Amino acid sequence: MSNLQIHQIRNATIIITYKNKRFLIDPWLMPKDYMAGFEAGVNSHIRQPRVELPISIEKIVDVDAVILTHYHPDHWDEFAAKAINKNISFFVQSEIDKDIIEKLGFKDIRVISENGTDFEGIKLYKTNCQHGKREIIKPLCESFGMPYDSMGVVFKSENNKTLYVAGDTIWCSEVKEAIDKFQPEIIVINACGATVLNGERIIMNADDVKEIASYSKNSKIVASHMGTVSHLTVTRDDIKNLKLENVIVPDDNQILNF
């Protein structure tokens, strides 16, 4: 069994080493305070990212493949587009996102299938998300000209632990279905409780973390997407203070080995 490693970079940007291949997830590489807070979110007066990258961009982009869970401005930026090798294997959720990334000059873009997409002996599966309650947040996103959909990704291969990167989602039936179907030993969740002006969370908050930790008791759960965006409402300490035995809250630049 090869080592499975999760390197928390910043926000949802992580590097996953799986079956000796390095996957860069959601590269958001701009410097601290580069971007205004989100108008539709709480704390819009706070600039973001709130913290600097913990290591150099050159080190971050030294990977075998990139996965973009969705095209939102806290998951992808012009710094990533400029720094990443245009010939790299690049995985997205839809033909729409594929077209966007293709226009930036990337040559090898693949849409991950719900039925599984092969890469170097690894099977990648797309899973569904609710990036906030669909009936409330989807129309809000569309009013801002921003796509709503996001995906999660499951990594599977023989003789390796199954990893589920849940993506930008709240606790919902789609996440339960992914857990039931794939029985992942490790789950990465985005958990800073990012909240929009109507009070709705658009990713997991502390209550969602408790729900997934209880539902998937035998999984190790890694809380990512912490401490960085303007519209967060949950801190690392908030998650740590839940004292959930199966939840890990890595700091930026922390490497977890499984």
DSSP 39: T
The DSSP string of 43-76 is TTTS-B-SS--SS-HHHHT-SSEEE-S---TTT-
Average pLDDT over residues 130-150: 94
Angle, helix 173-182 to helix 206-215, in steps of 10 degrees: 30
pLDDT digits (tens, 9 = 90+) for 188-222: 999 999 999 999 999 999 999 999 999 999 999 99
Q: Is residue 97 part of a domain?
A: yes
Taking phi over 0 as left and psi of -120 to 50 as alpha, with beta for the rest, 253 belongs to left
In the chain, how many domains are there?
Answer: 1
The per-residue pLDDT for 2 is 66
The CATH number linked to 218 is 3.60.15.10
Structural domain including 123 reads 5-250
Query: How sure is the predictor about 145, in pLDDT bands with cuts at 50, 70 and 90?
Result: confident
The rounded percent of the chain whose pLDDT value lies above 70 is: 99
Q: Is residue 106 part of a domain?
A: yes
pLDDT digits (tens, 9 = 90+) for 61-100: 999 999 999 999 999 999 999 999 999 999 999 999 999 9
DSSP 35: B
Q: Is residue 13 part of a domain?
A: yes
The per-residue pLDDT for 130 is 98
Query: How sure is the predictor about 3, in pLDDT bands with cuts at 50, 70 and 90?
Result: confident
CA distance 49 to 34: 7
Close Cβ partners of 82 (under 8 Å, ≥ 6 residues apart): none
Q: Is residue 139 part of a domain?
A: yes
Q: State yes or no: cis peptide before 139, omega within 30 of 0.
A: no
The per-residue pLDDT for 1 is 58
pLDDT digits (tens, 9 = 90+) for 15-67: 999 999 999 999 999 999 999 999 999 999 999 999 999 999 999 999 999 99
pLDDT, mean over the chain: 97
* 164 neighbors 182 (Cβ within 8 angstroms): yes
Average pLDDT over residues 108-128: 98
Q: Is residue 255 part of a domain?
A: no
Q: Is residue 107 part of a domain?
A: yes
The DSSP string of 187-199 is EEEE-S--BBTTS
CA distance 174 to 130: 7
Q: Is residue 26 part of a domain?
A: yes
CA atoms within 13 A on the CB side of 172: 20
Beta bridge partners of 255: 7
Close Cβ partners of 172 (under 8 Å, ≥ 6 residues apart): 129, 130
Closest CA to 11 of 257, 256, 252: 252
